[in-house]
Amino acid sequence: MSSQPSQPSGIDSQRVSCTFCGYLLTEQLLALQCYPSEATSVPAGVPSDGGLTLCPDCASEVVALLTNWHTHGQPQIRTDAAIGDAYQIVASTCSFCADRTPRAGLGIELYRRVGDELPAYATYTLCEHCQSVFGEFLRSLPPKR
């Protein structure tokens, strides 16, 4: 992989450890950021800052799940509203179940991936129901090391 002088996401790989197992991460990691809309909050199973950084081992099941999600167009982030609100405006249906309107939506930004199954950058929004499913899923994943 060629070295890029500036990472657009601003993530410092040197200091990032896996959310699940604590393994210090290298270039290979899956990074997700969750943005709850005003009407919801970060689901249980997701750190309170909404950020998840996963080593390739811990990411494998999350990657398998995310490949089934539907991405949507890039949200128009405004400074006077929650970022999650911009996500739920651009998402007409939930990225997971695809049949509910994601009101009280949870925006999820993917900006680093492992492997080739996922796009390098993607945005998703989950309905309230799928947020709790996603949280339960994350909590069911044991550390792999």
Choose, by CB under 5 A, the member of 30, 130, 135, 138 that binds Zn ion.
130
Choose, by CB under 5 A, the member of 18, 62, 108, 110 that binds Zn ion.
18
CA 95 to chain CA centroid, nearest Å: 12
Residues 98-117 touching Zn ion, rule: CB under 5 A, are: 100
Choose, by CB under 5 A, the member of 29, 31, 46, 58 that binds Zn ion.
58
69 binds Zn ion (CB under 5 A): no
Q: How far apart are CA 51 and CA 25, in angstroms?
A: 14
Nearest distance, CB of residue 86 and Zn ion, angstroms: 18
Q: How far apart are CA 29 and CA 59, in angstroms?
A: 8
138 binds Zn ion (CB under 5 A): no
94 binds Zn ion (CB under 5 A): yes
Q: How far apart are CA 23 and CA 65, in angstroms?
A: 22
Angle at 34 between CA 31 and CA 40, to 5 degrees: 165
Q: How far apart are CA 71 and CA 68, in angstroms?
A: 9
Binding site for Zn ion (CB under 5 A): 18, 20-21, 23, 55, 58, 94, 96-97, 100, 127, 130
